[in-house]
Structure 1
Amino acid sequence: MPNTADTKSAAAAAKAARAEDEAATIQENIDRLRGDISSLAKSISRYGTEKTGEYTERASKAGKDIADVSQQTLDSLTEELNRLEQSLTSHVRRKPLQSLGIAAGIGFLIALLSRR
């Protein structure tokens, strides 16, 4: 018949074995979680790289579009200013005294406004 001390030591040994098994299971779970986290981090990194490339391409296209529109607007304004200059030159040649009077009047008004 087994004595009480042997039973207690066997129970303690069994309890210690279960604790070791549980610790091993916990360690395996932790290792699996580390692997999953590492895989997730790599996936997120790839996704971010892809999105960065996509957004860079979009921004580049938008920049080119803005540059094209700006150039077209600048060309249009340049043409309009050239037409206005030709019109003004033509008017000054047809009516030089009137043009001189208008320029003097504008100069006088600017001088009055700048004194105040």
Structure 2
Amino acid sequence: MATATPTGNGKTDGPSAAELDEQIRQLRTDITELAHTMRGMGDAKARDFKKRARGKAEEISAGAEDALTALTDQLEEIERQVGRKVRKNPFAALGIAAGVGFLVAMLARR
């Protein structure tokens, strides 16, 4: 740090030009180090955010796969139930199919 030197009249002179140059050089060095530190912190935060985002994406993907599996299982169960009812009562199934076909044809005409 710069020190003031007393003059003959009891007052102190400010720092010399060499001392000011040294302080400016030190400030530049400190600012450069601070910039490197901040860049490192930013990089670390970015890596952390990427890691967390990747984890969330994997979590969501696994949840979607589980939901798709559950939906597929439900549809297969419905298909089995419909198949059993059709085998148990084929004429009712035929009548229902004809009725649904008639309704679809009516709606398609409009």
Superposition TM-score, scaled by structure 1 size: 0.70
Partner of 1:52: 46
Structure 1 Cα separation of the partners of residues 26 and 43 of structure 2: 26
Structure 2 Cα separation of the partners of residues 45 and 105 of structure 1: 71
Structure 2 Cα separation of the partners of residues 60 and 82 of structure 1: 33
Q: Which runs of 5+ in 2 are unaligned?
A: 1-12
Partner of 2:28: 34
Q: How far did 1:83 drift? A: 0.6
Partner of 2:56: 62
Question: Highest relative contact order (Cα 8 Å, sep 6+), 1 or 2?
Answer: 2
Structure 2 Cα separation of the partners of residues 33 and 93 of structure 1: 89
Larger radius of gyration: 1
Letter in structure 2 aligned against 1:32? Q
Letter in structure 2 aligned against 1:77? L
Q: How far did 1:56 drift? A: 1.5
Identity percentage of aligned residues: 36
Once superposed, which parts of structure 1, at least 4 consecutive aligned residues long, lie more than 3 Å away? 21-24, 27-30
Partner of 2:92: 98
Structure holding more helix per residue: 1
Structure 2 Cα separation of the partners of residues 111 and 75 of structure 1: 34
Q: How far did 1:40 drift? A: 1.7
Q: How far did 1:28 drift? A: 3.9
In structure 2, which of residues 31, 37, 40 is the aligned counterpart of residue 43 of structure 1?
37
In structure 2, which of residues 77, 83, 89 is the aligned counterpart of residue 89 of structure 1?
83
- Equivalent pairs counted in the alignment come to 96
Q: Which runs of 5+ in 1 are unaligned?
A: 1-17
Partner of 2:107: 113
